[in-house]
Structure 1
Amino acid sequence: MRKTMLRCVVGVLLSMLLAGCAREAAAPAVHFFAEGQPPTLAEWNLLRVADGRLKLNAGVVPYDLNTPLFSDYAHKLRTVWMPQGQAAQYRADQVFDFPVGTVFSKTFYYPRGPAGGDAVLRSTDEGPDLRGGGLELAKVRLIETRLLLRRKEGWVALPYVWNAEQTEARLMRGGALISLSLVAADGQRETAEYQVPDQNQCAGCHGIDMKSKALQPIGPKARHLNRDFAYDDGLNNQIARWTRTGYLRGAPAAAIAPRDANWRDPKANLDARARAYLDINCGHCHSPKGPGNTSGLWLDAATREPMRLGRCKLPIAAGKGTGDFRHDIVPGKPDESILLYRMRSDDPSVMMPELGRSVVHTEGVRLIRDWIAAQQGQCG
């Protein structure tokens, strides 16, 4: 009797093991295309729709940023994948040096509103909830997934737009315009004309060096990545996780790596929060090498000179964008500062950033208003 029971138990365990292996084997391996532009996102095998969720395939690692870029209140699922045996080289202050074959994905989505239809929630992105193995599709509306991939000749950007059924995302090289109804916590609604960029517009943010004009990643820097992430097996620092996964070499301990502030953290230093927000939203353009370098307003993390940061700085050829104000930042007077004026605008000829938003980021404006109001001094 005991032998019979033992054989049954062993048989059940073996069946479970084989079934698990079968399920694992059924998950397709990531397919890196060294050339061409596959018409569907599914061909890359980075993400898959299964069991009512958007799931990550083997080797695809999710990540998040301390302070993320604002995009019309969209939430984002960010992932990275690299070929087996390949790893990025750590850099303290720049984007890591990623190997050929690296693929980043960024899926833009919104939590669904209680009324259904086109209504989505206007809420702060606190990071993706991947408990249960992926994004629960019944609770989110998928908009697009952008890929940024490293080929031999350089980085290439590909925008894929999800269908209404959330079963497939297709390449839209010409971009798309999607009307959304954003519902705030108090029930107020706001219309957003969400723009999926065309391939040329991707250079508006990712062409961070005016000399080379080559596309580059923006987010994967030590200061943005140095934070914890809720993985399936628990909370773990991302730099440590990438190192352990084999995706990063040469990184120091997370405790001594650069770390940006979380712009939403009220306990953090106000200046650090504001600088982190301006760095990720504006610094890739407004930097010594970026497309906005001729403005003389540099908002990247490395800039420390008060005048370069806008303090009592006269605008250069801003035209209508000045709002008839004299200085980019007037210490203690946010409502007389051009920087805040342009952030508060949704006029395409005035607003900053120029790309990636159609509505005003109310919470971001409040942060920068508080930052300017706290500054002391007078402009001559």
Structure 2
Amino acid sequence: MMRIAALAALLLLVACGRQPGVVFHEAADPASLADWGVLTRDGAMLRLSEGVMPYELATPLFTDHASKLRTIWMPQGKTAAYNADKALDFPVGTIISKTFYYPLDAEGRAIAAHGPAQLAGNALDVSRVRLVETRLLVRRQAGWIALPYAWNAEGTEAKLKRTGGVQAITLAPHGEEPGGDFAYVIPNATQCGSCHVPDAQTKAMSPIGPTARSLDIASPFLAGAPNQLKAMADGGRLSGLPAAPTHLRNVDWTDAAQPLEARTRAYLDTNCGHCHSATGPARTSGLHLDAAATNPRALGLCKPPVAAGQGTGDRLFDIVPGQPDKSILLYRMQSVKPNEMMPEIGRTTAHAEGVALVGSWIAAMKGQCHAGG
């Protein structure tokens, strides 16, 4: 009888043209993204299911100029817990999604677009968009897992691709970027852990984007643009948010009204800090680029590299004050060679705007380095 009732309920949903909603899978790894129910392709629209919350970051990670739609879903009645330093502590059953896509110009070339996903209500118009991949982070009883889903050429369905993949993209010129063809790399499930393991001792996978310092901005998706953290707390999705936040706050790296130092530190925190921190996989390098780092030496000033190999570009120090062209940090950001570039995964192109920002920051520094550090 229970099976008959469940089937009847499902048929009723289909008959009414509604989706069954989010389905959390504790053990199975569905072959199709649609089986999770978080996002649904409906004609020209990519729809968010009921209870799925879109969010944005103050300064997002650079991924070959891709636009991103980020969402969080938590089980009914469950909340995330505030954390001043790390990602919010999400409950078991949480599904975090990040969909990578490119708006297309009249010639079918990918457009590098800054800013949040342009949602109409709870949907993204993908009629002039190339959907590339959707990555899921799923909080199960045993911990977080990462599942990469690749969209087909038509953008109608996304299938699980544990081994990752490569898609050819043609980028339209913009600003100082010449555009052209490049290979977009979808990371495999194992590579996801190279970024999503912010503590090298525990080796536990974790979200890295939705931190208090990155979520502490006005929501571009909610009416009235309330603060995202406050909106989560008011909506029963976040517990422990203090009246006076104890976290650092990242600014928008593109906001020229903000100090150069704050913009650069936010950019480095997002793009590098999850590895280059006191606890991250790159902790042994001695180069700490997360928001909490304050020691000039740890930030790279006149610090010789520990084991960068060819990644030094024959430069002596991570940062040479006033001389970005002699700084290893900038050299590795500009490089697209696998054994040199940083970040070492997540991009195959260099980010000209990011390089310019960090270069300006270094150029404004005072002082000089001496042989021997």
Could you tell me how far apart the structure 2 residues matched to 1:128 and 1:313 are? 39
- The alignment status of 1:178 with 2:167, answered yes or no, reads yes
Q: What residue is the counterpart of 1:327 in the other structure?
A: 317
Distance 1:254 1:64, change over 3 A: farther
Instruction: Verify the 8 A CA contact 2:248 2:291 in the aligned structure 1.
Output: no
Considering only CA atoms, is the larger Rg found in Structure 1 or Structure 2? Answer: 1
Shift of 1:254: 7.6
The correspondence of residues 84-123 of structure 1 with structure 2, limited to 5 A, is: 84-116=76-108, 119-121=109-111, 123=112
TM (norm. structure 2) is 0.92
- Taking the TM superposition and a 5 Å limit, the aligned residue runs for 1:283-298 are 283-298=273-288
Give the match for residue 26 of structure 1.
18
Amino acid at match of 1:139: R
Matches within 5 A, 1:49-128: 49-116=41-108, 119-121=109-111, 123-128=112-117
Aligned to 1:353, the other structure's residue is in SS state coil
| Residues 225-246 of structure 1, C-alpha deviations (whole Å, 9 max, x = no match) | 0011222534221111211222
- 1:317 corresponding residue in structure 2: 307
SS in 2 for 1:224: helix
Q: Secondary structure of the residue that 1:236 maps to in structure 2? A: coil
Displacement of 1:258:
3.6
Residue in 1 aligned with 2:237? Answer: 247
Cα distance between partner residues in 1 of 2:323 and 2:16: 59
| Structure 1 pair 188–321 and aligned structure 2 pair: CA distance change class (3 A) | closer
Partner of 1:201: helix, strand, or coil? helix
Task: Give the corresponding residue for 1:46.
Answer: 38
Q: Indicate the residue corresponding to 1:365 in structure 2.
A: 355
Counterparts of 1:253-272 in structure 2, within 5 Å, are 253=243, 258-272=248-262
1:201 aligns to 2:228 (yes or no):
no
Cα distance per residue 1:179-234 (max 9 Å; x no partner): 10111236943222111110100011001111111111001111000011222534
1:45 deviation in Å?
0.5
Deviation, 1:308, is 0.4
Figure out how many residues of one structure are paired with residues of the other and give that number. Answer: 357
Closer, same or farther: CA 80–133 of 1 in aligned 2, 3 Å: closer
Residue 154 of structure 1, CA deviation? 0.3
Secondary structure of 1:120 counterpart: coil
Distance 1:230 1:353 in 2: 28
Matched-pair contact (CA < 8 Å) for 1:330–1:378: yes
Give CA deviations for 1:81-112 in whole Å, capped at 9, x if unaligned.
Answer: 00011001111122111110011000000111
Unaligned runs of 5+ in 1: 1-20
Q: Say yes or no: does 1:36 pair with 2:28.
A: yes
Q: Does residue 150 of structure 2 align to residue 161 of structure 1? A: yes
Question: Deviation digits for residues 253-277 of structure 1, max 9, x if unmatched?
Answer: 4877542111000110100110110
Taking only aligned residues, the RMSD between alpha carbons, in angstroms, comes to 1.8
Letter in 2 for 1:30: V
CA distance in 1 between counterparts of 2:226 and 2:316 reads 47
Partner Cα distance (1:146, 1:278) in 2: 22
Does residue 1:136 correspond to 2:125, yes or no?
yes
Letter in 2 for 1:246: G
TM-score relative to the length of structure 1: 0.90
